[in-house]
Amino acid sequence: MSRRKTTILDIKNAKTENRKLVMVTAYDYPFGLMADEAGVDIALVGDSLGMVVMGLESTVEVTMEDMIHHIKAVVRGCKGPMVIGDMPFMSYNISIEQAVTNAGRLIKEGGCDAVKLEGGVDFADTVGRIVRAGIPVQGHIGLTPQTATSLGGFKMQGKDADAARAIIEDAKALEAAGVFSIIIEAVPAPLGKLAAESVSVPVIGIGAGPDVDGQVLVTHDMVGLFDRFTPKFVKQYAKIRPTIIEAIRAYGEDVKSGTFPAAEHSFSMPEETLAILKAR
């Protein structure tokens, strides 16, 4: 059964209605379909695809073309959830004009409903201009993977009072710039709660504790499909990697032993046709 498309208003209203938002990543058509069928509010085509789908070391190398390619596939599968396209590193960092142009490309060429970009106070002007161009923006603060090196690696952020206060200021600056929601990543749970309380838009956490307005996880981590590393804040709901490896291995054994394909996997030919064929 198809459901109504989640709107920006639905996402904003979730906070006042005290309804927790459910967000996952998706990078292709089958995962778009599954996220839709599972009934999530938001599917994020995250630049985490660089690591979990493309096998890169970080998100830094992901390009606009990579993002558009994957967004298109997810959009084909995701009819109910809002689809958000991540703006890759250096697609919005050079100038505001460049940021607006590239946000527009994700919407026009990719077909997603909104864009996400990393950064707080420093990117508030950029966010404001994209929003004024008519493109909904989701912010991303705390641990920002594209610039993790300058943050000291993939570490929890907002440890001391000054750093924590700066993250709350980031949230407020993004709200003032017009974002419809904010991702907050890898911060102490009490800071997640304070950040969520300090703005009127939903704050969606990943490694930010339970007292935020919703949660997001990288699907490939959550279902045990990617095992290069699993962050502390991930809960694994399935382990599908060994199941897939076992299936491929069993197929290989069947091919080698000749038990696959069996009669039910083969096309037959009428005896008369075969006889004529052989007589020639």
| Interaction site with ligand KIV (CB under 6 A) | 25, 44, 46-48, 86, 140, 183, 206, 216, 218
Q: Which residues are catalytic?
A: 185
Min dist. Cβ of residue 225 to ligand KIV (A): 14
Min dist. Cβ of residue 100 to ligand KIV (A): 21
Closer of 116 and 129 to ligand KIV (Cβ):
116
Closer of 128 and 142 to ligand KIV (Cβ):
142
Q: Are 95 and 127 in contact (CB under 8 A)?
A: no
d(CA 121, CA 125): 8
Residue written as tokens 């004024």? 132
The secondary structure of 81-118, three-state, reads CEEEEECCCCCCCCCHHHHHHHHHHHHHHHCCCEEEEE
d(CA 158, CA 193): 13
Closer of 6 and 48 to ligand KIV (Cβ):
48
Q: Which residue is nearest to ligand KIV (CB)?
A: 46
Min dist. Cβ of residue 26 to ligand KIV (A): 10
Closer of 23 and 199 to ligand KIV (Cβ):
23
Helical pair 96-105 and 64-77, crossing angle rounded to 10 deg = 40
Closer of 229 and 259 to ligand KIV (Cβ):
229
Helical pair 29-38 and 64-77, crossing angle rounded to 10 deg = 50
Structure tokens at 242: 């060994």
Min dist. Cβ of residue 262 to ligand KIV (A): 42
Burial class (CB within 10 angstroms; exposed 0-12, middle 13-18, buried 19+) of 55? exposed
